[in-house]
A and B are shown apart, each in its own frame.
Chain A
């Protein structure tokens, strides 16, 4: 069993509400769920959709074929009627769409009329649509009942009841009028496994919260704003200050100031905002102030596609800024990875007093996955700073003291008589500005050359998934993890294939723990899959290791890879191996 439901319509029609209710409902019913969203950069109108795939086996991607399309407007019908799976149905309200579609695969459900007749409230039309979908699938309404009660409890019993009546009327109508529906959804058992349903945004937010992040400063920018909203929402309950800065320049400088003052801090933005933060990135590096920077990629240059997805900023993050210093770039591939890697970013940033990035994108930010659970205990929380008592005991304190590891004691200013001094100018061990060549050399050795190998040792090797000695290796990074994994799983049935996925990218992983280069060199075909036009990861790989991929699969239209599309691309991976010397870009 593996179904895909798409809700399409204009912004403001409530399709997100329908989509998220269905996603949570399937998750609560014990199914695996994967959702993804596509929306335009406008508040009302346009064409948006929310795709919910659910199954009794684990999912990590969306597929293009749709089983049930809930069309809230005519455009949705026209745009997606060619994507219907055999036996699929387009559900629509003939009154809203102002069209009566004849023939197989259409089910007219007068959402608004049913809402008025059953609940006496036209606002319930979306709940009617949810009910209709459940009716077609032959699912009961018990879980929806629970969900609606939870969701609307604050609005009072009356609203809950209205919703329940509307949902039931929608389900009854669909059951009576969809004699051809042949969906087979197993009944919910009392022992349905308890699963989380989490998107990339909340995963980063939760990771930051569990890591002791106390300060978040940002300027709103899609697709990073969700993390800011998450943190602001948490600030009421937990001690956390969230400041909406006047611009991204202020945001990163505030995050650095807060960290200097003694708390873990973070900022977030997209590529365009990060462009403004770059000077601050070097400041964090020079003053050795820990800071975590979340970058949600979207297609650029400039404003690009504000609400769509791309993996186009990797090389920018790798090289951005003036001067040389260590930086950490972690690129999660799933909400689960996003949670743990955010924890790792905070830990490493403070341990080594360097900037650490969480590099995500719109696709991962908005996709929801089911997972068995998250363990905050696996997020290493250790306060690496020298606090009041220990600081007072120190006879001499030097903020930038030379040490074997290059890591100087990071103290809290004001906690003792010791002064904490740092400078964006080159400085001595006390933090005061200097101009001499000898100190410069020692400081570069300390900040960069001593620390870098230690940080590299903390970076996990890429994940190998699939055949042990694969003939074909499909390689990628960040948010393409899920779709590559499902594609490799399917292709494994008939081919010797494996996935090599990088989620910890800089410092570039070494080969001590796992010689992934050997795996690549032994393979007949090596394919690098990237959501960008110029194979940025492949170029980084070549620069760092000398390895060149045999072929590349790129998508750069602002949309994510869908499972069946990627399967088609990978179906015959040996076909487009370039001639010697032609590989790469």
Chain B
């Protein structure tokens, strides 16, 4: 709400960070590219965004671009990201996490971030496997996949993040695929422009550890949701969210505008960001009087 109306134009070169240490052919590289293009398209300057990431291959994301960065702990991206936005609601905040990071270790935080509905965007790099720790099952790994730590194959159902988000009435729910650059970039722009908590589950291949859900596997299944899908219809969104198998819909699954926490909290609603509100000891010294 306090964002500058006139956006300075940014260029792709401004977002050049360290050279990625991801494997050649990794879906992360395409996600990174789509992100940079989205930023340029939106005209956001690097210093106007803070990326919070956790641990895992996705956690390295902010180092491979340029912006304010808090690369914290595994699973803890969302508490940090939300707090940054709470105290500085002028700051655009993006959380970047992997499927283990956001759905496993940080699952509880995701539930509550959806409830709070702060204006924070999260990209979940979902390759249905643990890459950094070398190939164990993640919360979204398909049932039956055999790994070093699941020698009998995964014995339980994968988590469905899209259905979970719709059930939580998350205000923006989308699925992207790293192989569909054009759509992914548009989804990222829509999520970053959306007012409220926005989740994009980004399907990506892991060339090294996931031999089941390969690039080709996703490519054959992912299809963009058509214009007939009404993303404001929660029941339709549920049906779309439950579709994961031979066909996987990508695009905006659900959109439900609702008030954000920063709009409801009197301390910051329609006020300067907390970080810029003046403080003086004199203003609070009167509180001592209550104890006489």
The interface of chain A, by Cβ under 8 A from chain B, is: 194-198, 202, 206, 209-210, 212, 214-215, 217, 234-236, 238-241, 243, 245-247, 249-251, 253-258, 260-263, 265, 279-280, 283, 287, 373-374, 376-377, 379, 381, 412-414, 416-425, 431-433
Q: Does B91 contact A (CB under 8 A)?
A: yes
Q: How far is the CA of A52 from the CA of B135 in the complex (A)?
A: 63
Known: A194-B292, A238-B283. 6 other contacts (CB 8 A): A196-B291, A249-B79, A251-B79, A253-B76, A257-B83, A414-B68
Q: Does B190 contact A (CB under 8 A)?
A: no
Q: List 5 tightest A-B contacts by C-beta distance, closest first.
A: A257-B83, A257-B80, A253-B79, A413-B68, A254-B83
**A215 pairs with B73, CB closer than 8 A:** no
22 pairs of residues in contact across A and B, judged by CB atoms under 8 Å: A214-B87, A215-B274, A241-B87, A243-B83, A246-B111, A250-B112, A253-B76, A256-B72, A256-B80, A257-B84, A258-B83, A258-B84, A260-B70, A261-B50, A261-B83, A263-B275, A376-B281, A376-B284, A381-B281, A414-B50, A419-B67, A424-B71
Q: Does B257 contact A (CB under 8 A)?
A: no
**B281 pairs with A261, CB closer than 8 A:** no
**B111 pairs with A258, CB closer than 8 A:** no
**B267 pairs with A241, CB closer than 8 A:** yes
When the two chains form the complex, which single residue of B63, B80, B87, B284 contacts A238, counting CB atoms closer than 8 Å? B284
Q: Does B266 contact A (CB under 8 A)?
A: yes
**B292 pairs with A424, CB closer than 8 A:** no
**B47 pairs with A416, CB closer than 8 A:** yes
For the complex formed, measure the closest distance between the CB of B212 and the CB atoms of chain A, giving whole angstroms.
30
**B60 pairs with A422, CB closer than 8 A:** no
* Complex interface: chain A residues within 8 A of B46 (CB): 419
Chain B 67-111, CB-CB to A under 8 Å as 1, else 0, gives: 111111100101111111011101100000000000000001101
Q: Does B265 contact A (CB under 8 A)?
A: yes
Q: Does B287 contact A (CB under 8 A)?
A: yes
Q: How far is the CA of A432 from the CA of B87 in the complex (A)?
A: 24
When the two chains form the complex, which single residue of A215, A258, A423 contacts B69, counting CB atoms closer than 8 Å? A423
* Complex interface: chain B residues within 8 A of A243 (CB): 83, 86
**Given A239-B274, A376-B285, A381-B281; A280-B83 close (CB under 8 Å):** no
Q: Does B52 contact A (CB under 8 A)?
A: yes
**A255 pairs with B69, CB closer than 8 A:** no
Q: Does B175 contact A (CB under 8 A)?
A: no
Q: Does B243 contact A (CB under 8 A)?
A: no
**Given A236-B266, A262-B88, A432-B63; A422-B71 close (CB under 8 Å):** yes
B46 and chain A: residue at smallest CB distance: A419
When the two chains form the complex, which single residue of B18, B88, B265, B267 contacts A414, counting CB atoms closer than 8 Å? B88
B289 and chain A: residue at smallest CB distance: A196
* Complex interface: chain B residues within 8 A of A424 (CB): 55, 71-73
Q: How far is the CA of A124 from the CA of B103 in the complex (A)?
A: 54
Q: Does B277 contact A (CB under 8 A)?
A: yes
**A239 pairs with B279, CB closer than 8 A:** yes
Q: How far is the CA of A256 from the CA of B83 in the complex (A)?
A: 8
**B275 pairs with A419, CB closer than 8 A:** no
The CB with the most chain B CB atoms within 10 A, among A195, A235, A238, is that of: A238
**B69 pairs with A431, CB closer than 8 A:** yes
* Complex interface: chain A residues within 8 A of B78 (CB): 250
Q: Does B6 contact A (CB under 8 A)?
A: no
**Given A377-B281, A379-B281, A432-B63; A246-B70 close (CB under 8 Å):** no
* Complex interface: chain A residues within 8 A of B66 (CB): 419
**A433 pairs with B60, CB closer than 8 A:** yes
**B285 pairs with A210, CB closer than 8 A:** yes
B92 and chain A: residue at smallest CB distance: A414
Q: Does B45 contact A (CB under 8 A)?
A: yes
When the two chains form the complex, which single residue of B45, B72, B284 contacts A417, counting CB atoms closer than 8 Å? B45
When the two chains form the complex, which single residue of A287, A413, A419 contacts B72, counting CB atoms closer than 8 Å? A287
* Complex interface: chain B residues within 8 A of A431 (CB): 69
B66 and chain A: residue at smallest CB distance: A419
When the two chains form the complex, which single residue of A194, A234, A283, A422 contacts B287, counting CB atoms closer than 8 Å? A234
Q: How far is the CA of A231 from the CA of B278 in the complex (A)?
A: 18
For the complex formed, measure the closest distance between the CB of B39 and the CB atoms of chain A, giving whole angstroms.
14
A411 and chain B: residue at smallest CB distance: B68
**Given A381-B281, A424-B72; A261-B47 close (CB under 8 Å):** no
* Complex interface: chain A residues within 8 A of B90 (CB): 414
Chain B 35-71, CB-CB to A under 8 Å as 1, else 0, gives: 0000000000111101010010000101100111111
Q: How far is the CA of A564 from the CA of B32 in the complex (A)?
A: 70
Q: How far is the CA of A440 from the CA of B177 in the complex (A)?
A: 38
**B69 pairs with A422, CB closer than 8 A:** yes
**B82 pairs with A254, CB closer than 8 A:** yes
Q: Does B164 contact A (CB under 8 A)?
A: no
**B80 pairs with A210, CB closer than 8 A:** no
* Complex interface: chain A residues within 8 A of B283 (CB): 238
For the complex formed, measure the closest distance between the CB of A387 and the CB atoms of chain B, giving whole angstroms.
9
**B47 pairs with A210, CB closer than 8 A:** no
Q: Does B268 contact A (CB under 8 A)?
A: yes
For the complex formed, measure the closest distance between the CB of B73 and the CB atoms of chain A, giving whole angstroms.
5
Q: How far is the CA of A3 from the CA of B62 in the complex (A)?
A: 65
B62 and chain A: residue at smallest CB distance: A421
**A414 pairs with B91, CB closer than 8 A:** yes
Q: How far is the CA of A215 from the CA of B268 in the complex (A)?
A: 12
**B87 pairs with A258, CB closer than 8 A:** yes
**A432 pairs with B18, CB closer than 8 A:** yes
* Complex interface: chain A residues within 8 A of B83 (CB): 215, 217, 243, 253-258, 261, 265
**B60 pairs with A257, CB closer than 8 A:** no
**A417 pairs with B288, CB closer than 8 A:** no
Q: How far is the CA of A136 from the CA of B149 in the complex (A)?
A: 75
Q: How far is the CA of A33 from the CA of B12 in the complex (A)?
A: 68
* Complex interface: chain B residues within 8 A of A280 (CB): 73, 76
Q: How far is the CA of A265 from the CA of B275 in the complex (A)?
A: 11
* Complex interface: chain A residues within 8 A of B50 (CB): 261, 413-414
Chain B 242-284, CB-CB to A under 8 Å as 1, else 0, gives: 0000000000000000000000011110010011010101011
* Complex interface: chain B residues within 8 A of A253 (CB): 72-73, 76, 79-80, 83
**A210 pairs with B82, CB closer than 8 A:** no
**A260 pairs with B84, CB closer than 8 A:** yes
* Complex interface: chain B residues within 8 A of A202 (CB): 291
* Complex interface: chain B residues within 8 A of A255 (CB): 83
When the two chains form the complex, which single residue of A197, A235, A261, A416 contacts B88, counting CB atoms closer than 8 Å? A261
A252 and chain B: residue at smallest CB distance: B79
The CB with the most chain A CB atoms within 10 A, among B50, B60, B81, is that of: B50
